[in-house]
Amino acid sequence: VVKNWRSLLTGVHIIFDGFCFSLHSGKMLGINKMWYNVAPYMADVVHAMNGTFSHCQSSWRQEWAPSSSHTDLPRMANVPACDGILASAVSSFPGAHKIVFSSYYRIADPLPVPGNETGRAVEKGAGVDPGGRRQSGGTCNILPLYDFIPERMGLADQQTPDFFVKWASIPRANGFLSLSRSTTADLKDLHGVDSDFVSTSPNRMSPHFRRVPEDPTGEYSDFFRIEFSGMDDIQRQLRSRRRFLLLAGHHEYPPPYKGYDMLWEALPALDPALRASFDVLILGMPPPFDSGVEVVFAPDVPETVLPLLYSRAAALVYPSRYEGFGMPPIEAAACGCPAILGPFYRDKMKYVYGDDALYVSSNEEMRAAIVRVIGGDVPPPDRLIERARLYGADTRHGWNEVAKDYLEYMLAGPFRDVPGTSCPVLVCVDSAGLCVGNGGGGR
């Protein structure tokens, strides 16, 4: 596409609202990690086709966050403009056609055009000034969606206002980006959105997740050059060469959908000799009770250390009853680490893990899975690594593929017709590849 249509996106401005980085105050959590890796690939293609790609930043921070905790994305303009109403910020950006996609459920609703200050919906294409800047009606809103955990788990009445922003924005979006088949199916079931209007591209993980060879000394000094909270305890665990179960993202009081209650209730039912033969290493906070096993915890482990921990763990325990995609299991697989997974993965994600995971949905199944893991009855590392190949272990199938899927949809559609917005087809892609140039109508 880039080779044959270098000027195809002239006058097109794609604006990424990176509010997730403010919401999480610069921490590389799930969706932050996803967009930090995906958006630069999208920007590379847009710029190569003579378009513009910008990261619209917000200065808002959590009360506890340092003022320096903002995130610049590589290979694009990082513009500190996205405070307040998103549409007002977008109106200040140049471009004859703007495509806006927000990392956290915001929509650039049309602004009033001169003479129509009431904000009444106008025809597509209205409100373009002679300089090519859209005042309203020239923006296409694409809404990324990650999961429907509150809705499926009966937690909707416990949510922050951000949850209700999502529900208000879905009817006003022209199209959607989804990170799993499960999320796409939920979008149709809960909101009636046909999958034609959704680009579904399963999450990936970064290529540095690979199996780490064993160090007979247990030192692994290359991974501990920068200090972090809990580092001494992790190093002691590795030097001891004791087996351990690994928990990722554990809170002191984890929400029920995470399924950790099955683990903590299964541990006391184990044979005492077996229970004394392994530890639990938590990437997060420990539980507020005695589980009957030695618990080591590290609340803020750098991502560069995760491949080592996955490689040495007896298994990752990730017993979620619901997720959007959930990245730790595929990161673990890339490192050859077995996984004990919850009902969500058995019911919704078996196309990823097949029979190479231990699925649990009860305390007894969790107890039996732990017995198998500690007894060594697990898939060989090479088989798990092969499972992960299509999700980033092979760099040909990494975040670049997600960027391709998402950007292709944002340029080609099809889109929903929403009053006051404009989503022309900029590139037509069919089974034979690129089929038309710039300027087609909607479809």
Q: Per residue in 226-270, pLDDT tens? A: 999 999 999 999 999 999 999 998 887 778 899 999 999 999 999
Q: Residue 26 has what pLDDT? A: 64
User: Among 86-90, 177-181, 200-204, whose mean pLDDT is lowest?
Assistant: 86-90
Q: Which long-range contacts does 229-234 make (Cβ < 8 Å, 24+ apart)?
A: 229/298, 229/299, 229/300, 230/296, 230/297, 230/298, 230/299, 230/300, 230/301, 231/298, 233/296, 233/297, 233/298, 234/281, 234/296, 234/298, 234/301, 234/305, 234/309
Q: Taking the CB of residue 246, how many other CB atoms lie within 10 A of it?
A: 24
Mean residue pLDDT of the chain comes to 86
User: Among 93-97, 132-136, 198-202, 224-228, whose mean pLDDT is lowest?
Assistant: 132-136
pLDDT > 70? residue 49:
yes
Q: Residue 430 has what pLDDT? A: 59
pLDDT > 80? residue 122:
no
Q: Residue 374 has what pLDDT? A: 97
Question: Is the pTM of the predicted complex or chain greater than 0.75?
Answer: yes
Q: Give the tokens for residue 340.
A: 């004990």
Average pLDDT over residues 114-121: 38
Q: Per residue in 392-413, pLDDT tens? A: 988 888 999 999 999 999 999 9
Average pLDDT over residues 364-375: 98
| CA dihedral sign of residues 191, 192, 193, 195 | positive
pLDDT > 90? residue 3:
no
**3-state DSSP call for residue 104?**
coil
Q: Under a CB-based contact definition with an 8 Å cutoff, are residues 181 and 325 in contact?
A: no
Residue 254, beta-bridge partner list: none
| CA dihedral sign of residues 80, 81, 85, 86 | negative
Q: Per residue in 433-442, pLDDT tens? A: 545 444 433 3
| CA dihedral sign of residues 164, 54, 187, 258 | negative
- pLDDT higher for 385 or 70? 385
